[in-house]
Amino acid sequence: MTENIRLEVVTPEKNVVSEEAQIVAAPGTLGEFGVLIKHTPFLTTLKVGSIRYTDSDGKERYVFVSGGFAETLPDRVTILAESAERRSDIDLERATAAKERAEERLAEDRTRDDIDFIRAKAALERAVQRIKLV
């Protein structure tokens, strides 16, 4: 039997994942990285994307994250995310509606002061990643 690494995915509101994993892959801001047991410690920022891990039974699992930080130690990976949800918890209708709203905001006149285009782009990216994951 192979040793497993502990995966913790935490948001300000809740603990999303707390389980053993064979391997963890996450969307670092400088590129995706993978972690196995006894990995060299490091700390990095995360971009919007999906954490992919293989649980202790060998089943591949996915968690959406909208940025945050990852700390890797030899026996654990801790993800501190702004928001996170398991693939099974993503509401496809809600994500599609969010994508459409963001696209509408981005299509409007850019000279208007009342629309925050940076926020709309970020909302669009989150919605697209959620839809891809489902």
Angle 89-42-79 from CA coordinates, rounded to 5°: 15
CB 65 within 8 A of CB 83: yes
The angle subtended at Cα 74 by Cα 56 and Cα 71, nearest 5°, is 95
21: closest CA among 68, 74, 57, 50?
57
Ordered per-residue pLDDT tens for the chain, 134 residues: 478 999 999 999 999 999 999 999 999 999 999 999 999 999 999 999 999 999 989 999 999 999 999 999 999 999 999 999 988 877 778 888 888 888 888 777 666 555 577 777 777 788 778 877 77
CB burial readout 8-44, b (16+ within 10 A) else e: ebbbeeeebbeeebbbbbbbeeeeebebebebeeeee
User: At 71, which helix (H) or strand (E)?
Assistant: strand 60-73
Q: What is the pTM of this model?
A: 0.77
Domains of the chain by range and CATH? 5-87 (2.60.15.10), 90-133 (1.20.5.440)
User: What is the C-alpha separation between 62 and 50, in angstroms, rounded?
Assistant: 6
